[in-house]
Amino acid sequence: MIIFRFLKCSLVFVFVLGSCVNTKNKTYPESLTTKFPYQYLSLHTRMDEIKSTDWLARHSEQGQTFEEYLQENPTLPTHKRNKIYLLPLGNLTQFDSQLVQITAEYLSVFFQSEIKTQIPLQNLKDTIPKNAQRIHHHQNQLHTKFILSHILEPHLPTDSWAYIALTPEDLYPALSWGFVFGEATLHNRVAVSSFHRHKKYVGNDVKNELSASEKTQKTRLRTLKTTTHEIGHILSMRHCTEFNCLMNGSNNQKEADSRPFFMCPVCVQKLNYGLKTNLKTRYEGLLIFFKKYHFKAEAKFCKKVLKSFKKGQT
């Protein structure tokens, strides 16, 4: 069924019942306390109360435990499929090109995987047929299914475990949807991520009157989050419904902005299983990345995680 094949993220936890351990007024199931130090777990919070405009208020999703993940026979890197391929899709400005380069650098650190950035595919009007585009509220949009099925899947590199298009174009997954930040397949190794809306500043952003450098940082962080989220789906990870987590679905930019850049302990188990990596190495790399690009709050979180390992087991 198509619903199980694709996961849309207009940019979106099942609590495992059983014996629990309470630490610092936060309760965690034994399945987590036996694997992670308390200090690390305490850096993660349960999902906030669902608001009427949130993804989970509009989409009925049950989450995915680590055991359920294993039962789904997840799509994982192999000895031969050991790279992420990034295809820039559309005409890029200098800002966009830099964003693609930074995103590629981030992906290699986050997933601890070699990454290859391809030559941008431009002149999309010649590539994408009229019936796979539309004008919606005066905005040209590209159909995600066409990108996934006709641009990416036929050209999937044999040594790729993930092939993702990154585009400045706006996207839609179906006529009934207003837009979508990205879309991924759970088992076909392809995804598309758009930063079109991440460059827009509305609502709270306007009230805060962001400086030019703050806008740049915000656009970058949003793009890093959407793109890593979509690649999480490529690893057959479904939306997280338990913790505040990178793998939460999001219905709008405000909700997406409220989601963290990191995965929760349940999703991290899936990530480490699939990539055969560990948290310490990832967070050491992320700390260097965030310092380099001046993401202060994110670097601070990485330091807290690394400190938590020193206190407890790894």
Nearest residue (CB) to Zn ion, 124 versus 193:
193
Binds Zn ion (CB under 5 A): choice among 41, 164, 186, 240: 240
Nearest residue (CB) to Zn ion, 16 versus 210:
16
Of the candidate spans 4-12, 49-57, 150-158, 271-279, the one that interacts with Zn ion by CB under 5 A turns out to be 4-12
Q: Are the CB atoms for 12 and 226 separated by under 8 Å?
A: no
How many C-beta atoms lie closer than 10 Å to residue 150's C-beta?
15
Binds Zn ion (CB under 5 A): choice among 186, 267, 286, 287: 267
Amino acid at 201: Y
| Least distance (Å) between residue 201 CB and Zn ion | 23
Binds Zn ion (CB under 5 A): choice among 47, 115, 231, 245: 245
Number of residues that bind Zn ion (CB under 5 A): 7
Question: Is 247 an interacting residue with respect to Zn ion (CB under 5 A)?
Answer: yes
123: left (phi over 0), alpha (psi -120 to 50) or beta: left
Nearest residue (CB) to Zn ion, 100 versus 245:
245
Angle, nearest 10°, between helix axes 94-110 and 212-234?
50
| Least distance (Å) between residue 304 CB and Zn ion | 18
| Least distance (Å) between residue 123 CB and Zn ion | 29
Q: CB burial class (10 A; 0-12, 13-18, 19+) of residue 20?
A: middle
Of the candidate spans 52-60, 67-75, 157-165, 256-264, the one that interacts with Zn ion by CB under 5 A turns out to be 256-264
Question: Is 47 an interacting residue with respect to Zn ion (CB under 5 A)?
Answer: no
Amino acid at 117: T
Question: Is 235 an interacting residue with respect to Zn ion (CB under 5 A)?
Answer: no
Nearest residue (CB) to Zn ion, 245 versus 256:
245
| Least distance (Å) between residue 23 CB and Zn ion | 18
CA 230/CA 225 separation, integer angstroms:
9
Question: Which two tokens mark 26?
Answer: 């936060």
Q: Are the CB atoms for 45 and 243 separated by under 8 Å?
A: yes
Nearest residue (CB) to Zn ion, 87 versus 264:
264
| Least distance (Å) between residue 281 CB and Zn ion | 20
| Least distance (Å) between residue 294 CB and Zn ion | 27
Of the candidate spans 5-13, 19-27, 86-94, 132-140, the one that interacts with Zn ion by CB under 5 A turns out to be 5-13
Nearest residue (CB) to Zn ion, 109 versus 271:
271
| Least distance (Å) between residue 245 CB and Zn ion | 3
Question: Is 9 an interacting residue with respect to Zn ion (CB under 5 A)?
Answer: yes
**Within 13 Å and on the Cβ side, how many CA atoms surround 265?**
23
What are the backbone angles phi and psi of residue 160, rounded to the nearest 5°? -100, 140
Q: CB burial class (10 A; 0-12, 13-18, 19+) of residue 305?
A: buried
Q: Long-range contacts made by residues 20-28, C-beta under 8 angstroms, separation at least 24?
A: 28/265
Nearest residue (CB) to Zn ion, 157 versus 260:
260
Binds Zn ion (CB under 5 A): choice among 132, 148, 264, 279: 264
Q: Are the CB atoms for 13 and 238 separated by under 8 Å?
A: no
CA 289/CA 93 separation, integer angstroms:
23
Starting at the edge strand found earlier in the chain, the sheet holding 133-136 runs: 133-136, 139-143, 170-172
| Least distance (Å) between residue 53 CB and Zn ion | 17
Residue for token digits 């109360």?
49
Q: Which residues make up the interface to Zn ion (CB under 5 A)?
A: 7, 9, 240, 245, 247, 264, 267
